[in-house]
Structure 1
Amino acid sequence: MPPGAGEESVTRRTDTLFCRTTPLLTLQFVDITYRIKNPNGIKSGGSGVIASMHNSPPPPPCSGERTILEGITGAAAAGELLAVLGPSGSGKSTLLTILAGRLPRPHGGAVLANGRRATRSVFRRVGYVPQDDVLYPHLTVRETLTYCAMLKLPRERVRLAVEAVMEELGLNGCGGTAVGGAFVRGVSGGERKRVAIGHEMLVNPRAVVVDEPTSGLDATAAGRMVATLVGMARRGRAVVASVHQPASRVYRMFDAVMLMAEGRCLYYGRGRDAVDYFASVGFSPEPFVNPADFMLDLANGVTQIDCEADATEKARIKLSLVSSYNAVLAPKAKASVNASIAASTATSGESARTGIERSGEKEPKDFTRISWFGEVSVLLRRSLKERRHETFNSIRVFQVAAAACLAGSMWWHSSIHNAHDRLGLLFFISIFWGVFASVNAVFTFPQERAIFAKERASGMYSLSSYFVARTAGDLPMELILPTLFVLAVYWMASLRPEIGAFALTLAVILSYVLVAQGMGLSIGAAIMDAKHASTVVTIIMLAFLLTGGFYVQKVPIGMRWMKYGSFTFYGYRLLIAAQYRGTEMNSYIGGEAAAAAEGQIGVIESVVALMIMFVGYRILAYAALRRIKI
């Protein structure tokens, strides 16, 4: 095979699958401004020393604000790589979030697609790779890409698309390795970033926005990563990337460069022209200096690395650069963007309202190519594969096994005639599984919020299909450990030996677990902060346990309403009914005490109450997820 033949084959295959089947897209952004409330309550027209020395327009009349971005204008053309440079805190990530349509708060200015204001449907065709990789850690590389392809592509194209992307991104060697994460060993940082990019490529984006793709990589890996982005751009995509401290050979790959400092633009133009521009405004680099290092020094207000400047001198340098840009380059940048907008509009002609060329048919509202049931099926399989590691991790299994051994030992071969001890065991089971199931469920949606929001913003699936698959996938996983717990404790404690009594006890505990899990899901979805949500669940469970009917039989009138909202109260009643029948309670612990233990709620009422809670908590969880902005 001649040199380069394999690469050409991959290119042809990828072009056939993706880029050549969709029209080109150019992203233009005009006067992008973004302000947030200043927690100190001090009004500020900028984010630092530049604003304090620069006559910028005053912020809108409101409480104190801090400007993150101020009048940023530019364009990311199809087929080119736009690199955004700047020190930490310069606003790079915020700008990229806006260009990808992922910023939940309103901003000033406009993002245009082919000369038309970008809409939600356009942003769904913009792939976004955040700085922190948002992937399931336990899935392998091939599984991650396959499930994504199954959600967006016809079944017959899934395997071919996955193989093409893996070959193009150099992931064939690690296809069977787990992606990994902070607590799970997996592929390297560079490979994980390429998996995240491949995940977006399978969504068939017409533009790709990548935040800090080279962070944490060595020079060679960073060069390969940028070369990958350049290859994506050459295949017809508009690519925007914020790059941290690029090497000189990496800098030469950039088609266009934007340099930012404290939310303002210091340079926007061709990468090869940057050094000449700064020399023309009085800032010449030393010989053999990396242009990127030179520009980042200027953005930090430093002209000579061996000469430490004070804060005033740094502010003066930055102010001079901002003034020079506003006087020299800003008019050219706006003229260039306006020309790009005019050219895009003229080329599109009778295009869609989003600026996307059409061939006469109406553009679909949703880009998903599979049915709702297909989405549920794919998401359910993915959830089961990922959740099995979490559900059966060693710590959780040990926790359940230890509780079973302790309970079985404490109530070893207890007698049915010792009703007080038996009631204590039944209530201990209620305590353990109520807290265990609800606290674990609290973490479900907060942990997956980033993945859920990212995939929903890309239009990969609907909220209802995700929710159904996620909750249905928990059912078999969450019921195995309680079943094993009951199998151990029931016979160790010598509870009622009839098969019917055992089956009823197991059914009650499994139902109780599902209701407790539903409460945890609803609170986690409503608060979306695992730490705060777990605190709220602990307080609620404490109230439920105190009013459950074991510690206090005669609950004060003012708090009696609380026990009727407690699933512990109903579950405990049903456990008693499974173990003691008819007049057995009266015989073993006395009529008055038996009436207090059984309560005033019958078996049918308890079953209905648990069924209502099972459905109601999940409806609340779904409603809470719907309010999340994506």
Structure 2
Amino acid sequence: MTTKRTTATTTTTTTTPNDTPNTNTNTVNTGLYLRWSRIIKTVTIKADNSGLLRGSIAAPTKESNESFIRRRTNSKKNGNNKKEEKKNILKEVSGYAAPGEIVAMMGPSGSGKTSLLNCLSGRNPYNSGIVSVNGRPLGSGEQNGSGSDMKRLMSRIAYVKQDDIFFEHLTVRDQLGYTALLRLPQLWTHTRKMNEVNRIIRLLRLTKVADSKIQMLSGGEKKRVNIGTELLTDPAVLLLDEPTSGLDSTSAVALIQMLSKLARNSNKTIITSIHQPSSALFFGFDRLIMLAEGHVVYFGQPKQSLLYLKEHGLDCPLGYNGADHWMDLLVQDSAIDDDEDDDIIEDGDVENTTAIVAVTTTAVSLSDGTGSGTNTDDDDKDEYEPSKYATSWGLQYRTLVHRSLKNSRSAIFTPINVIKSCALGIISGLLWYQMDYTESRVFDRSSYFFFTMTFWVFDAMFQSFMAFPSERTVILKERASGSYRLSAYFMGKTTSEMPARLVLPLIYMVISFWMASISTSFSMFVATTFISLLSVMAGEAIGLLVGATIYDTEKGMTFMTVISLFLALVGGFFVENVPSFLVWTKYLSPFKYSFDASLQLVFDKPVPCDGSGALEALCGGSSTGYAQPEQVIEYLGVQGSVGFNVGILIAIGLVPRYLAYLALRAKKEGDR
């Protein structure tokens, strides 16, 4: 394995921040020079019971690469009894990128490409080193720059993550439009923002699919939409994490060519990681950064990289892809023997560090030689979060409500769900068809309401449970870009989905209530329907709380099943006499309060006795006489007044929502 631990090129000349080469000759913007020097990033790798080390950064899986780890890393395993180990995933990494250039990071899985991008973007802190923009320190640590200046510089850097994560029911124009409304300046008019959206659509050649739903796009088109969401803010620096992943070679070449043209024409600084490019891609970059096990192996022009290997007796075979040759050397420790490898590393350290010396010296002088960055062992925590947003809370809320309404209309208020509501309404109406208001139908009326409440509360619980887990990745991505406040998202999400979630049980009630002849009074229909909808809101709130605290779908669904059935069982219909040690649980059940309030409303007048014995204690088996409403309600075990039960239902609909918001706030630091 031939690698060297410092950046190297045999032809690059010494540069300073003000004379770094710029390939762009037709630029208007001044652009930003991005430099990084001696970046060190450390994580803690924990061991499982078998002694195997596990951590947030995946270790290479090939045996040859594992042997390379054992010889190259600063922290070596001293036995399988170790519970945890600190590992440097970035080891004094240095380099730079100039405006008008596209710089590629290459290396095998686990080499540190994504970690370096995270550090450059400010998404993750690092243990020591310097990141600077146009000579001004930038980064996550207190010494790397602070206050409004750092935040202003951070706003000029955009980061396109590897996964193309969107609301797939939205169109391309919707996705870019909502992003523009949220992230472009508040003072811009709506027309100006939409004009910017149209410009990005034309720039990325998305005109033909602008009004197509994202779920219908090809991989290359989704990737361009992903890039477009970041280009809307016109960043000076664009970072991309493996943008060609999952694309065919033709689409990959077209994408990189587009980025290269964007860098030249707009004077943008573009840095992208790439796993194993084709030959056309390899020579299409202005500079390459080769990484292996957190070390910079080579930094320079693509063509010079092959000459560098040739100087050390590692010629690229004739007709062989230069990128593949590099990857073979980076991955396979068996390429050369250990002694020769060490000789080349040592030799390279002396002869091929011209460019990096300039970068390192400049960066160190900016900070008086001191490292910076916040010490951390968790690669998933402390992601940079802007304290200011481009738009106000009110505009964020309105935009997110509109987006969620459009998205939920496609996801919740679907034709199949409308058919479900109608079918259940008809079936219920037939089963409880034209019930008489007599003694024999008292329990049938009770069962109608309990079924209605139970089904729709269950439906709301399980539907709302998926609200946050299903959108988690999208929200984390948008929040990391400073699109909106968490409170604006939460309020917009919960208020916008409520109408769509309430329409379906309303359809059911309209059909079944009159078919079952619950009452001939329209006011009674309104009152009982109102209570049904309150119970749905209460169930939705419980589902939101569970979804906000348990992101694992399988575990969450299991918990939801148990808790929903338990609350239904103690709600008062199935078990009349709950054991004393569990009696308190029924007061947590929304089923109890909706059931009690509905029965108090529906039994509003004396019930004629018919000799059926259904109300034996009240009618005494007589076919004459009446059972008074308050007697019937007491006989059925109903407690409290209508107002009290409605008040508790409202509380159940609000308190879990607030707790769900607090749960999201508590989890956001660790989950970003």
Q: Which TM-score tier does this pair reach, normalised by the shorter chain?
A: 0.7 to 0.9
Alpha-carbon distance in 2 for matches of 1:202, 1:520: 35
Secondary structure at 2:214 match in 1: coil
- How many correspondences in the alignment? 580
1:415 matched to which residue of 2?
A: 436
Letter of the 2:315 counterpart: S
Question: Residue deviations 1:547-591, cap 9 Å, x none?
Answer: 101011121111111111111111111121221125549996355
Alpha-carbon separation, structure 1, partners of 2:608 and 2:595 = 14
What residue number does 2:205 align with?
170
Contact 1:467 1:622 in 2 (8 A): yes
Tell me if 1:30 matches 2:38.
Answer: yes
2:214 is the counterpart of 1:179: yes
- Shift in Å at residue 341 of structure 1? 2.8
Cα 1:501/1:219, change in 2 over 3 Å: same
Residues 94-141 of structure 1 deviation map (CA, whole Å, 9 limit, x = unaligned): 3333333334xx543345132413148354543222221011111111
Cα distance, 1:315–1:598 mapped onto 2, change above 3 Å: farther
Amino acid at match of 2:410: H
3-state SS in 2 of match to 1:542? helix
* 2:139 is aligned with 1:131: no
Give, in angstroms, the shift of residue 35 of structure 1.
2.4
What residue in structure 1 maps to residue 665 of structure 2?
Answer: 626
Residue 201 of structure 1 pairs with residue 231 of structure 2:
yes
- Write the mapping of 1:352-367 to structure 2, written as runs, cut at 5 A: none
Deviates more, 1:470-479 or 1:489-498: 489-498
Cα 1:585–1:616 change in 2 (3 A) is farther
Equivalent in the alignment of 1:551: 574
1:275 to 295, 302, 306: 306
Residue aligned with 1:549, SS: coil
Post-superposition offset of 1:204: 3.1
Q: How does 1:307-456 map to 2 (within 5 A)?
A: 316=338, 323=345, 327-328=349-350, 332=354, 334-341=356-363, 368-417=389-438, 418-456=441-479
Q: Which residue number corresponds to residue 266 of structure 1?
A: 297
**Which whole-Å CA distance do the structure 1 matches of 2:568 and 2:343 have between them?**
65
Residue matched to 2:655: 616
Query: How far is the alpha carbon of 1:206 from its aligned partner?
Result: 2.8
SS in 1 for 2:162: coil
Whole-angstrom distance in 1 between the partners of 2:663 and 2:347? 46
1:524 pairs, out of 535, 539, 547, with 547
The normalised TM-score by structure 1 is 0.84
Q: TM-score, normalised by structure 2?
A: 0.79
Q: Deviations over 1:503-554 (max 9, x none)?
A: 0111011111111111111111122233322222222111211110101112
Alpha-carbon distance change, 261 to 344 in structure 1, aligned in 2, over 3 angstroms: same
2:325 pairs with 1:294: yes
Which amino acid in structure 1 is aligned with residue 210 of structure 2?
A: G
1:83 and 2:108 correspond: no
Cα–Cα, structure 1 residues 177 and 321, in superposed 2: closer, same or farther, change >3 Å?
farther
Go from structure 1 to structure 2 and tell me whether the alpha carbon gap of 1:430 and 1:455 turns closer, same or farther (over 3 Å shift).
Answer: same
CA RMSD of aligned residues (A): 3.2
Does residue 142 in structure 1 map to residue 173 in structure 2?
yes
**Residues in 1 aligned to 2:568 and 2:336: alpha-carbon distance in whole angstroms:** 62
Letter aligned with residue 195 of structure 2 = L
* Alpha-carbon contact 1:99-1:111 (below 8 Å) kept: no
The CA deviation at 1:187 is 1.5
User: For 2:462 and 2:542, how far apart are their aligned partners in 1?
Assistant: 9
342 and 414 in structure 1: CA distance in 2 versus 1, 3 angstrom threshold: same
Quick one: distance in 1 between partners of 2:472 and 2:343?
A: 40
Mark the CA change 1:24 to 1:195 in structure 2 (over 3 Å): closer, same or farther. Answer: same
Deviations 1:8-49 (A, max 9, x none): xxxxxxx9xxx9678625142533323242343456998632
Runs (5+) with no aligned partner, structure 1 = 1-14, 181-185, 302-310, 347-363
Structure 1 residues 246 and 312, CA gap change in structure 2 (3 angstroms): closer
Within a 5 Å distance, the mapping from 1:429-578 to structure 2 comes to: 429-578=452-601
Where 1:50 maps in the other structure, the secondary structure is helix
Provide structure 2 residue ranges, at least 5 long, that are not aligned to the other structure.
1-23, 61-65, 141-149, 369-384, 619-630
Over 3 Å counting, the alpha-carbon distance change for 1:411 and 1:50 in structure 2 is same
User: Does the CA-based 8 Å contact 2:42-2:88 persist in structure 1?
Assistant: yes
Aligned 1:31-70 pairs, distance under 5 A: 31-40=39-48, 41-42=51-52, 48-54=66-72, 56-57=74-75, 63-65=83-85, 67=87, 69-70=89-90
Deviation string 1:211-244 (CA, Å, 9 cap, x unpaired) is 2211222222111100122233332332221223
Percent identity over paired residues? 30
